[in-house]
Amino acid sequence: MIAKPDGSRSTAALQFVAATLAAAITIGIFSGVTELLLREGRPLERLVAAERACASYEYVSEREACMRDWAASWRPVSLAGK
């Protein structure tokens, strides 16, 4: 009698490879979306900070000029060594 190969070993290995690949793709997509959202949120932080810094101006034109000047002088803070 010739035993036929079961095939369960190759199916299990194929499922493991597919699950690992799917997990890697999912992690990559989530990481990319998270990084994109964090990067795009930073300009809004600067805008809110400029609005708060220039809130004391009564006229809109003065407030907008203050916000432009404040945003132009803004420098990112580096936590790395100099």
DSSP string, 18-77: HHHHHHHHHHHHHHHHHHHHHHHHHHHHHHHHHHHHTTT--SHHHHHHHHHHHHHH--PP
Give Rg (Cα) of the chain: 28
Could you give the angle at the alpha carbon of 51 between the alpha carbons of 46 and 55, nearest 5°?
Answer: 155
- Tell me, what DSSP letter sits at residue 7? -
pLDDT for res 76: 60
Q: How many domains in the chain?
A: 1
In a domain, 80, yes or no: no
Q: Give the domain extent around 49.
A: 12-73
In a domain, 3, yes or no: no
Residue 35 falls inside a structural domain: yes
- Residue 5 lies inside a defined structural domain of this protein: no
- Residues 3-36 have pLDDT tens digits of 566 555 678 889 999 999 999 999 999 999 888 8
Q: What is the pLDDT of residues 38-59, one digit of tens each?
A: 776 667 778 888 888 888 988 9
Whether the model clears a pTM of 0.85, i.e. scores above it, the answer is no
